Amino acid sequence: MPLILPVKDKFPVIGEDCFIADNATIVGEVMIGNNCSVWFNAVIRGDVNSIKIGDFTNIQDGVVIHCTYQKSATVVGHHVSIGHNAIIHGCTLHNYILVGMGAIIIDHAVVEDFCLIAAGSVVLENTRCESGFIYAGTPAKKVKAVSDLQMQMLKQLPLNYNLYANWFIDQ
């Protein structure tokens, strides 16, 4: 069973048709939309501030989502794919975004629609990632525009993860 706990009378709210892996942890003021998936060893910790996650978003294996006490909540939009072992902390991710494996996005950063954050990149505090671009490196910098093929991938990947999640839900 996943660990889903209240913190200071704030209970996680999980939408319809979501897959939450047996060893995922979701605590505190967390709102998860519909058709989402939270994969193995992911931790979503809304203990010190709120976390809101939109529909058709996948939080892959080992991801940590947290925030900063009294300073920065975390907002993740719709159709977002957060790759394995990424850290999302006190920032805002809009819609149709891929956060690559092991990437880190820090407080008050904003990632606009249709962005791709490359694996291992670090998006520093207060950075704004402009819609339609790939960001890579440490610190992450704008590299080039998202191609048409990558744009299609940003639209399709959340649907793929919804399919994969259903393999577990239907068991």
CATH number of domain containing 162: 2.160.10.10
Instruction: Dig out the tokens for 19 from the structure.
Output: 């897959």
Q: How many domains does the chain have?
A: 1
Domain that holds residue 92: 3-169
Tell me if the pTM is above 0.75: yes
Q: Which long-range contacts (CB under 8 A, 24 or more apart) does 6-15 make?
A: 7/46, 7/47, 8/47, 10/46, 12/44, 12/46, 15/55
pLDDT in tens, 84-142: 999 999 999 999 999 999 999 999 999 999 999 999 999 999 999 999 999 999 999 99
pLDDT in tens, 15-63: 999 999 999 999 999 999 999 999 999 999 999 999 999 999 999 999 9
β-bridge partners, 51: 30, 74
Q: Which residues contact 117 (CB under 8 A, 6 or more apart)?
A: 97, 98, 99, 100, 103, 105, 111, 123, 129, 134, 135, 136, 140
